Structure 1
Amino acid sequence: MTPTPERHHVVIIGAGFGGLGAGIKLAAKGIDDFVLLDRGDEVGGTWRENTYPGVEADIPAVHYSYGHLPNAKWSSAFAPGSELFAYARDIADRFELRPKIRFGTEVVSAAYDEATREWTVTAEDGTQFVSRFVISCHGALSIPSRPDIPGLDDFEGKMMATQRWDHSYSVAGKRVAVIGTGASALQVIPTIAPETAHLTVYQRTPIWVMPKVNFAVPGALQKVFETLPLSQKIVRNIVSSTTAAAETVAVTHNKRLPFVTKGVAQLATAFLKSQVKDPALREKLTPTYGFGCKRPSMSNTYFSTFERDNVTLETTGIERITSKGIRTVDGNEVELDTIILATGFKIFGLSYRIAGVDGVDLESQWDEQRLASYEGVAVPGFPNFFLAPGPYGVIGFSWFDTIDICVSHAVDMIAQADADGVTRIEADSAATAKFVKKMRKRVENTVFMSPSCNNSNTYYLNKHGDAPYLRPETIVEAKFAMRSAAKGYVRA
């Protein structure tokens, strides 16, 4: 017997910072009939899933929080993952969101019914949720990217991804390999290297790394932030303005100001030289592409780790993974006890099937026709459905900038539809085409489209040659655009 679907006005998919933010904003608008669905057993999203050794934010903590809900207790300039996870739990408690969350609910599909103008969201166990509106906060970086390497299932030792770290397993005294040199690897490698018998790092593409100015936040300063919230807001605004200016100059307007990223690259090269004395090793760690083509990374210990006697940097391509270890294309095989996959995420990969009007599958549409959305939030043919974020929806350096803009817009559209008494609101095709054309034109001036990125293997560029991840505007520009974005919808 099929259980009766649970009915709500709004379904929110994901209880990370995006989903929690959506719940807070819906309640603030007086919309209380909503539910949050999450596959995990706790809130926090990324910071619940990623608990690997050394995990911490790469955005200053003072800026990595909801603007209206600052946390005065960050222990360091760049907060460790455990504190970010605790912050998410505190937000869920403070706004009494837990009764509205259905944990252990893995969403497998969402389908739109044109007759009823409702969405049916189905979980892995068959449970269904029917709602007028859906806000998908599953995250732009939520699906681990499984590397296309032959033999992944043949390895007889311990294999785990950084996003699924097994804390019951110790790497102490083990022969360990890390595949990948991205943001997660940058933190894992220096942390575990001293424990291992030997650590081999398999690098396809070297990364640009700058020093990380991290420091403990004195208790006295925490007290000031707690007593005088305005002081923390001032610091946050300074950090926000600085990072926004850096992004605008170095990334968004790179074509006009290429000397900026070239200058930063020189500083990064000098930092590498100060950290690694061996010229051959230093050459392997030096990128052959321009600074900014990949997400900027910071670490004070990453480079120096490769000078340890028990660490090897392997730049020869992997042929396959064997039952005993990893064999490279030159025929050399390294026997291993542990393989750690630090191979990142699928950008805008959808964790469940989304079927809109006439059953059109969103992922297939994007795959065939290129990623597109209206204002980084809505897609024509998918009424009453909002992404937080969608293509060209990630703005600024802090994820909370994106959450604020995308979720606020989605909630405003729902509230407006309710006030107007309409049951269907959909992004207009012409308005979407105009927005996407504008974004793609702006992307042409970014660093991602410069010849210097040709050898970067950057996830910012997809198979269509597009860079649909970032919205190439300043936060001010994006917020201003959202003021009139409601005009781009068809209502019925």
Structure 2
Amino acid sequence: MTAEHSAAFDALIVGAGFGGIGAAIQLKRLKIENFVILDREDDLGGTWHVNHYPGLAVDVPTTTYSYFFEPNPNWSRLFSTGAEIKQYAGDVADKYDVRRHIRYNTVVESARWDEDAKLWRVTLAGGETLSTRYLITATGFLSQPKVPDIAGIDDFAGKVIHTTDWDDNYRADGKRVAIIGTGATAVQLIPVLAKSAAELTVYQRTAIWVVPKIDIRFSERAKRLFARVPLAQRAIRAVTDTIYEAMISTAVIRHRTFRRLNIAAADLAKMHRFASIRDKELRDRLTPDYDFGCKRPTFSNGYYRAFTKPNVHLQSEGIDHVQADGIVNSDGTKTEIDTLVLATGFDLWEANFPAIEVIGRQGRNLGKWWRDTRFQAYQGVSMPYFPNFLSLASPYAFLGLNFFNTMEYQMRLMDRLFTEVKRRGATTFEVTEEANARYLDRMTELLGDSLWTIGNCATSRSYYYNPSGEPSLLRPTSTKEAVREASDFPFSDYQIS
């Protein structure tokens, strides 16, 4: 290969969240040091840097929500705060010397495969172009904020805050606040706002399943034990991993056989709602009309109780339009407010798959190809016609409730694939169309027995489903099976040259 065609980088990673940090650690294990991580924010952490609204906490036990190879003995509690998760990201990045590879405040616009040079040309906002042998997108599933399309919302004269851009100086004390959305973010935020707002109106489009949160605080003695005897913390992780894995592998993936477990989980949420709210009419309005698990369930001890406060009001009739001083509801009534909080989540499919324009061999546009055919990715990371490219936030990538399980199998796949490429003295890899089609057929078949296919999910408005109605965000296998496949997939599934 001529000098003018040599890559400026051996690898380029888009995104400095936990996915990007994990990919960087794996590259270092493979003795690949000439790489760069590009992130549009001013610090690492991904969604845990962008999100810092009041009440933010992880909804998976932090014994499970962490890299398996990097347990953290310093968690303050079982469900740690967002600030602690962000600190964990920084600590891991420091330990593995990842920070020096990161370029912040850098927006990636597109990437195009140069067939002649066998390189990716990555274009940044402002016009700069970088070249790289391998391209890895680690943009996460929750990276593109969704702003609701509501008539008149730009005319509102008060303060508007999206939960992904929270104003840390904002105080709700004595203010009339409206919050749009009742997803996982809102479940955490609403009890906090209810404590100080003069009036809090919650606009609910879709009710959410909420179960009690069994949280415990780790004492200083327990932290010292975890630090001195890591196996003690791993023992707790084994319990939390097993519980979550069992939930997904039985009640969700094998829903046809274990449907009674979903019913039991729904009953737990019903009892929690009944114990918290005595008003039957209010309970009914807060009751989902879809099966437990169709969209991500949440954990909270304060969400339902918040609606029993005299200053909190549930509005489930819908919004007609927004005016300068408030919201006109679908029933013609008007709610005057000072602050409008948008807890409307993320745009997964339209803006995130993919998060940047990616053009592969023969001019294949990844986003257009996905939408013209079906959302698909071999092992959740590779697509035909896209050489030397791994997309860590792809269809069939996400394992159940825990992103770190996803990262675990993806790092193993990177290890196996890149090691073989190096062993052969090769320069490119690309999944074959046959392997990709075989994998897609298998995922489709496995989903046939899942809650997302045969359950009552039509009204859930779950981000698990793509615009065509397929639940192609999630990989319908156990973590153990995903890790095994990533560790021993046939090399013939890739064309390595």
TM-score (norm 1): 0.97
Aligned residue for 1:465?
469
Give the superposition deviation at 1:177.
0.8
The alpha-carbon deviation at position 306 of structure 1 amounts to 0.5
1:36 paired to 2:12 = no
**Do 1:105 and 1:124's aligned partners in 2 also have CA atoms closer than 8 Å?**
yes
Which residue pairs with 1:85 in the alignment?
86
Residue matched to 1:219: 220
Unaligned residue ranges in structure 2 (runs of 5+): none
- What is the Cα deviation at residue 406 of structure 1? 1.5
Instruction: Look up the equivalent residue of 1:383 and give its one-letter code.
Output: P
Measured at CA, do residues 33 and 411 of structure 1 come closer, stay the same or move farther in structure 2, by a change above 3 Å? farther
1:321-380: CA deviation from partner (whole Å, max 9, x where unpaired): 222221122222212111111111122513221111222221122122221001101011
Map 1:438-449; keep pairs closer than 5 Å: 438-449=442-453
SS at match of 2:289: coil
Could you say which residue in structure 2 is the equivalent of 1:491? 496
> Counterpart in 1 of 2:137?
136
- Output aligned runs, 1:364-443, within 5 Å: 364-443=368-447
* CA positional deviation for 1:310: 0.6
Alignment of 1:168-317 (within 5 A): 168-317=169-318
Distance 1:258 1:328 in 2: 38
Instruction: Tell me the amino acid that sits aligned with residue 414 of structure 1.
Output: F
1:324 maps to amino acid: D
**Number of residues paired by the alignment?**
489
Residue type of the partner of 1:194? K
Higher mean C-alpha deviation, range 312-321 or range 166-175: 166-175
- Letter paired with 1:142: S
Q: Which amino acid aligns with 2:258?
A: L
Q: Secondary structure at the match of 1:453?
A: coil
Letter in 2 for 1:463: P
Indicate conservation of the 8 Å contact 2:177/2:339, yes or no: yes
Q: Which residue of 1 aligns with 2:338?
A: 337
Question: Residue by residue, what CA displacement relative to the aligned partner does 1:26-64 show, whole Å, maximum 9, x if unpaired?
Answer: 111111111111111111111100100000000101111
Please state how far the C-alpha of 1:135 moved relative to its aligned partner: 0.9
Change (3 A) 1:423 1:472: same
* Amino acid paired to 2:200: L
Aligned-pair RMSD on alpha carbons? 1.6
* Closer, same or farther: CA 363–252 of 1 in aligned 2, 3 Å: same
Structure 1 runs, 4 residues or longer, greater than 6 Å off: none
The letter for the 2-side match of 1:15 is A
Summarize the Cα distance change of 1:418–1:21 in structure 2 as closer, same or farther, 3 Å threshold: same
Contact kept in structure 2, 1:5 and 1:128, CA below 8 Å: no
- 1:392-418 alpha-carbon deviations (Å, 9 max, x no partner): 011142211101112331343233223
Aligned mates of 1:240, 1:296 — CA distance in 2: 17
Output the CA distance in 1 between the equivalents of 2:317 and 2:446.
37
Give the Cα–Cα distance (whole angstroms) in 1 for the partners of residues 263 and 444 of structure 2: 24
Number of the residue aligned with 2:158? 157
**Aligned ranges 1:40-79 → 2 under 5 Å:** 40-79=41-80
**Identity within the alignment, %:** 38
Unaligned runs of at least 5 residues, structure 1: none
- Residue 64 of structure 2 aligns with an amino acid whose one-letter code is H
Deviating more after overlay: 337-346 vs 183-192? 337-346
What TM-score, normalized to structure 2?
Answer: 0.96
SS of 2:139's partner is: coil
CA deviation after TM superposition for structure 1 residue 387, in Å:
1.0
State the 1:284 CA deviation.
0.4
Paired residues of 1:389 and 1:406 also in contact (CA < 8 A): no
Distance 2:285 2:258 in 1: 28
